[in-house]
Amino acid sequence: MEQIGFIGLGRMGLPMATNLLKQGYQLACFDVIEEQLNLAVENGGQRCSSVGEVVEKSDVIITMLPNSEIVKEVIAGDSDSILASAKAGQLVMDMSTVSPETTDHVAASCSDRGVEFVDAPVGRLASHADNGESLFMVGANDAGYARVLPLLEIMGSDIFHCGGYGAGTRTKLVNNFLAISYCQMNAEALALAERFGLGLDSTLDVLFGTTAVNGQMKIAWPAKVLNGDTAPGFTIDLAHKDLSLVVNAANTQRVSMPMAAAAREAFSLARARGFGGKDFSAMLDAHTELNGLDAPRLQPDSKYKPG
């Protein structure tokens, strides 16, 4: 069994690492936030004091980090980075959501050192990560994919090999454009229904029975914002970051995406008004507040209230 390193133990990374520990893997763990590292150690992980120590103790190093700049620094930076002490034959799997340019850069840097690289960004929510039900979009050659597949099968329930290096990152941006933009469209739709004085359940009956339905409205929102829960599984701040990646990547590729740009501005407005740390389903609350409306909520006897 290969030795695994895990760098980045936040809301998504910690449950993924924990699921690997539960299946008997030995994990060398590191995070700059001591509290998160302590939780990983309590779950059976081995405490490391630096990125270099993780590399020294691992065959496969997994990263789950907040943004492109940190991914570049941790994997290919000048000091205490993975590649500063990596050996040929090791493998780096980055599960962060970053720009295509970042993935291409770190993949090339790994190749120069004889280190295999896999990009495997994550779909679905933190609650899915808790249960080992994440979805992974994987960019890798066949050998790298085969090597990480047993790990991905523990951390997730759906794994898609999207192509070579960078294909996972690019697929993630396509997916996140839709998943995040739906939140703003849903918020506008339910705000309009609220202004019309329509009942929430009857509105959902119609929306769920037509092609207007989408996964955010039908699957995520009844358990989150419509149930009064805006605790972050995926924050508005992070959603704004991802939409910025989408818009910037589209500009680089000369692809017009006016709806992505509009959605990003709506998320910018929500952040400016103090909603950045809330779950991205709270775009409903941000938009109804902006329009002087009460935020719709499921009643206790609603058929859509989670059981």
Note whether 32 and 8 are within 8 A (CB).
no
pTM, entire model: 0.93
What integer best gives the mean pLDDT of the chain?
97
pLDDT at 233: 87
> CA angle at residue 121 from 178 to 42, to 5 degrees?
125
Confidence of residue 140 (pLDDT cuts 50, 70, 90): very high
pLDDT at 265: 98
User: Which residue among 72, 172, 224, 278 is the active-site one?
Assistant: 172
Mean pLDDT for 76-94 is 95
Is the pLDDT score of 81 beyond 90?
yes
Strand 134-139 vs strand 122-123: parallel, antiparallel, or unpaired?
Answer: antiparallel
Return d(Cα 94, Cα 7) in angstroms, integer: 10
Token pair, residue 176, equals 């996140």
pLDDT at 79: 86
pLDDT at 11: 92
Confidence of residue 1 (pLDDT cuts 50, 70, 90): confident
Percentage of the chain surpassing pLDDT 90? 97
**Looking up tokens 């739906």, which residue turns up?**
182
C-alpha radius of gyration, the chain, whole number:
20
Confidence of residue 125 (pLDDT cuts 50, 70, 90): confident
pLDDT at 232: 92
Closest CA to 176 of 112, 118, 96: 96
Task: Give per-residue pLDDT as tens, 254-296.
Answer: 999 999 999 999 999 999 999 999 999 999 999 999 999 999 9
Token pair, residue 275, equals 């909603």
Is the pLDDT score of 18 beyond 90?
yes
pLDDT at 144: 97
Task: Give per-residue pLDDT as tens, 148-163.
Answer: 999 999 999 999 999 9
305 has catalytic annotation:
no
Confidence of residue 124 (pLDDT cuts 50, 70, 90): confident
Question: How many other C-beta atoms are found inside a 10 Å radius of the C-beta of residue 301?
Answer: 7
pLDDT at 6: 98
pLDDT at 108: 98
Is the pLDDT score of 210 beyond 90?
yes
Mean pLDDT for 3-25 is 96
Closest CA to 46 of 30, 23, 22: 30
pLDDT at 307: 78
Return d(Cα 270, Cα 290) in angstroms, integer: 9
Beta bridge partners of 6: 29, 62
Query: Hey, what long-range contacts does 54-57 have (CB within 8 A, 24 or more apart)?
Result: 54/5, 54/6, 54/7, 54/28, 54/29, 54/30, 54/82, 55/5, 55/82, 55/85, 55/86, 55/90, 56/85, 57/3, 57/5, 57/28
Is the pLDDT score of 222 beyond 90?
yes
pLDDT at 83: 97
Which domains are delineated in the chain? Answer: 4-163 (3.40.50.720), 171-290 (1.10.1040.10)
